[in-house]
A and B are shown apart, each in its own frame.
Chain A
Amino acid sequence: MKWMKNLKTYTPPAFTVIRDNDRCIRCKACVEQCSFDATFYDEEEDKVWNWDSNCVSCNRCAAICPTEAITIEKRDYSYRRNYSWESHIDGLKKRAIFGGTPVVSMGNDKPYKIYWDHMLLNASQVTNPSIDPLREPMELKTFLGKKPHSISVENVSLKTKLSPQLELDVPIMFAAMSYGALSYNVVEALGRAAKEMGTFYNSGEGGLNKDHYKFKGNIIVQVASGRFGVHKPYLDVGSAIEIKIGQGAKPGIGGHLPGEKVTETISETRMMPQGSDAISPAPHHDVYSIEDLRQLIYALKEATEYTKPIIVKIAAVHNVAAIASGITRAGADIICIDGFKGGTGASPQVIRDNVGLPIELALAVVDERLRSEGIRQDISIIASGGIRNSMDVVKAIALGADAVYIGTAALLAIGCTMCQQCHTGRCAWGITTQDPHLSKRVNPDIASERLINLLKVWSLEIKETMGAMGINSIESLRGNRLNLRGIDLSDRELEILGILPAGE
């Protein structure tokens, strides 16, 4: 054995790697692929060993093994059963041993209620015809931005001056994931897929590598509290500018990029020293009120000569409806609401697991509030955080969203297995790492093709369900809550969601 376990730092391994010796051909592919030092080969014994405590269950070894000799199992809990304590013992011990709060990644993984799974969609029967999307035209085109209250026409042309709009061929965009959190190749793949599918990739708060300026026209640039990599050419590349106030996975705190991931190119792009942690301030230090936000929005509009819509991204929190109303009045063109299931590259575990609201509820109350105040047309809504499949997209749009952001779903398409190790920078799938050897594991040609496939399939699925409802344009589905029915929900939940119970 290569290591010896030490009681001083011991917490029980979470996974066991089981190797079928009859199948293992000692090709050592798994040894090379494990980036967490959990697999090694002993030449003397001619045997592949595993160090289970290091295993994060990323499944890279199992995926690469040509003979399917490897299975990874969740270790059964070996402490005495205790309902109230058992999921907290290891976390508590880690804090006591290492003296720090655990940083985790990906989205909230606690078993909170998922409202998407408690909503059912409608379909046309007899009294209204359903539409076949393979035979009849269907419209998914979406425009994001401020819409006029009324329009006036003169000589067959539009007299009203329209605000700048984002034009999307599919109402699905790639969420803000920065270069730094993601590897170069993944950004490349997301950019290419966005270009091909007529949608947008959000650069996140880490600036944009000069090589990726070629995606101009399909990039949303983000201005966050750290202001990393923000300069005029960067703003000019974006089709829209997103002010990030909060993120669903970690409302109330700023972005974290561990120093391990700040390599030379990242430091250049972010304009910060190599190897130092990039910890964005919790608030924007020039935004302490809605009035301040208005100033920042108009500063950015001024800087880009009023040619680009401004997005304000907030995490779904308790007073989200009132905050959204304020943001609309502050002059934002688009608001992004990020639910607590949204992912992150690094967040303190306590925040990720306990702060925020489900996007379904936040979206419903925001849409309702903006409508009741008569300002819904002043702003478009992007729902984000926990959109897992095309039906979540349909339900989000029916609840009032104009479009959605997908982050985790996009990474899953590239290969991610949600092992929640993004913050370590050792991603065995080459996605959230800056190690030049590991990041080669994502081939942008393959990854962009998979992303394009995903968006195409989701589009078709959306069209199919829209057709079943007898709707041929996504515009007619927007805010169409009559096509939703709740199941297994309390009266109060139905009221908040603004939908009827199934059967009514």
Chain B
Amino acid sequence: MKIVKINEDNCIYCHLCEVACIVEHSQSKDIIKAFKKEERPIARCSVEFNYPLSLSIMCRHCDDAPCMEACQNGAMHRDERGYVTVDSNKCVGCWMCVMACPYGVIKRDTRREVWGLSTKCDACPDRKIPACVEACPNNALTFEEI
């Protein structure tokens, strides 16, 4: 299974991974429409900064995922590709996964339809390489086999 590897030495704090993530998870997948017209999804990666260090962090798809343990009704599950994803039909928005995640990468969705449900990195099921990795201008994110 491939996972997004974070190389903090190369992160230049441009936030383009977040931009790409938002675009990828938008309805139109058009950068200007996603930001200006549509209800904007939240970025599933977030760039942390503590001078001079910066890095983008997103779900690590842990082997022993604490979020899956914490989920009371099986919404948080491992999909057929091996990534930990959330089934929004089952999620009740109890946020136990948010509490359990050691990386703080599970967030509450802000879109009206799915408001308050858990949302997290889904490793871009429609793409070969996740959008954040492709957008990173300095190879701070790479998609590598583990």
Contacts and interface: CB of A to CB of B under 8 A. Distances in A.
Interface stretch (B28-36, B62-70, B107-115): B28-36
Contacts of B19: 25, 27, 29, 66
Contacts of A435: 52
A430 B137 CA distance: 13
Interface string A415-447: 000000000000000100001110011010110
A32 interface: yes
Interface in A10-53: 22-23, 25-29, 32-33
Interface in B2-20: 9-16, 18-20
A67 B52 CA distance: 27
B16 A64 contact: yes
Main secondary structure of the interface of A (DSSP, over half): loop
Interface string B103-146: 00000000000000000000000000000000101111000000
Nearest to A439: B52
9 contacts: A29-B16, A29-B19, A33-B12, A64-B14, A67-B31, A435-B52, A437-B13, A440-B9, A440-B12
Contact of A440 (B10, B18, B20, B36): B10
B11 A440 contact: yes
A87 B139 CA distance: 42
B46 interface: no
Contact of A64 (B11, B20, B36, B137): B137
B52 A437 contact: yes
B32 A23 contact: yes
B144 to A, nearest CB: 14
A381 B135 CA distance: 45
Interface of B: 9-16, 18-20, 31-32, 35-36, 51-52, 54, 135, 137-140
Contacts of B16: 27, 29, 64, 66
Contact of A446 (B13, B15, B36, B139): B139
A436 B50 CA distance: 12
A32 B15 contact: yes
Contacts, number: 56
* For the complex of A and B, 4 pairs with smallest distance between CB atoms: A25-B35, A436-B52, A437-B52, A29-B14
Contacts of A430: 12
Given A66-B31, A67-B31, A440-B9, A29 B52 contact: no
A360 to B, nearest CB: 38
B15 A443 contact: no
A26 B14 contact: no
Contacts of A27: 15-16, 18-19, 35
B31 to A, nearest CB: 6
A25 B52 contact: no
A66 B35 CA distance: 12
B36 A25 contact: yes
Interface in A240-297: none
Contacts of A67: 31-32
Contacts of B140: 443
Nearest to B140: A443
Given A67-B31, A437-B51, 16 more contacts: A27-B16, A27-B18, A27-B35, A28-B15, A29-B19, A33-B14, A64-B14, A64-B137, A66-B19, A66-B20, A66-B31, A67-B32, A440-B9, A440-B12, A440-B52, A446-B138
A445 B139 contact: yes
A23 B11 CA distance: 25
Contacts of B32: 22-23, 25, 67
Contacts of A23: 32
A29 B15 contact: yes
Nearest to A26: B35
A165 to B, nearest CB: 38
B54 A437 contact: yes
A441 B36 contact: no
A64 B135 CA distance: 10
B10 A66 contact: no
Nearest to B23: A66
Interface string A54-89: 000000000010110000000000000000000000
B102 to A, nearest CB: 26
B3 to A, nearest CB: 19
A443 B138 contact: yes
Contacts of B52: 435-437, 440
A264 to B, nearest CB: 13
Contacts of B20: 66
Contacts of A445: 139
Contacts of A32: 13-15
Nearest to A430: B12
Nearest to A440: B12
Contacts of B137: 64
A29 B20 CA distance: 12
Give the residue among A66, A435, A441 with the most B Cβ atoms within 10 A: A66
B27 to A, nearest CB: 16
Contacts of B31: 25, 66-67
Nearest to B34: A25
A196 B51 CA distance: 33
A300 B114 CA distance: 74
Nearest to A445: B139
A443 B142 CA distance: 13
Contact of A66 (B9, B11, B135, B138): B135
Nearest to B138: A443
A25 B38 CA distance: 12
A310 B106 CA distance: 61
